[in-house]
Amino acid sequence: MKILYICTHNRCRSILSEAITNHLAPDLIVAKSAGSQPAGAVHPLSLHYLDEAGIATDSLHSQSWDELEDFAPDLVITVCDSAANEACPVWFGNAVQVHWGLSDPSKVQGSDEETEHAFRECINTIRQRVKTLIPLAEQQLRGQPLRDALNERGISKL
C-alpha cells in the first residue's frame, strides 16, 4: 500500500506520519509526505522527537506535492484542517482520501514540558492510527474495497 500524508507546510505532522508509518510497516506500506505550500525545512523538534523514539529521519524533507506526481498513492491522508479544505491535485487519481485531524505540536505556546508532551501525544496518536491501517495493507486493499474497510472501521472519521 502507498500512503501520501498531506499537510500544508509539510514540516511537522505529515513528516511525523511518514516516518512513523515507514517505521511500523516497512514491508507493507510505503509512506511519503508533502504539502501544497511546503516550508522547505522539517521542524527541528519533529526530527528530535523522532530520533528520540528510534525512528529514522535521514530521508525526511519538506516537499511540494508536485514533486510526487509519479508516486500514485492508494491512500491520501490529510493531517491538518487547512490541507483538508484544499483542492487536491488531479493526479491523485483514484486514491482514497481521508482526514486525520491532528493538533500541531510545533505551535504549542508554553514550557518545554508542554511542547514535549504535545509532540509525544501526536506521535502516539499517529502510531495508533497507523496500527489500524496495517491489517488493511496486509489484505492489499485498494480503491472502493479500501474505502469500505476504512469506513467500517471508522478510520476515515478520525
CB proximity list for 142: less than 8 A, separation 6 or greater: 1, 74
Which cell numbers in the block locate residue 38? 511546503
How far apart CA 65 and CA 36 sit, in angstroms, is 6
Active-site residue, selected from the candidate residues 80, 84, 122, 155: 80
- Per the annotation, the verdict on 88 as an active-site residue is yes
How far apart CA 49 and CA 116 sit, in angstroms, is 8
Active-site residue, selected from the candidate residues 1, 3, 6, 7: 7
Provide the 10 A C-beta neighbour count for residue 158. Answer: 16
- Per the annotation, the verdict on 122 as an active-site residue is no
- Per the annotation, the verdict on 12 as an active-site residue is no
Active-site residue, selected from the candidate residues 88, 108, 134, 158: 88
Which cell numbers in the block locate residue 3? 500512503
Q: Which amino acids are annotated catalytic? A: 7, 80, 88
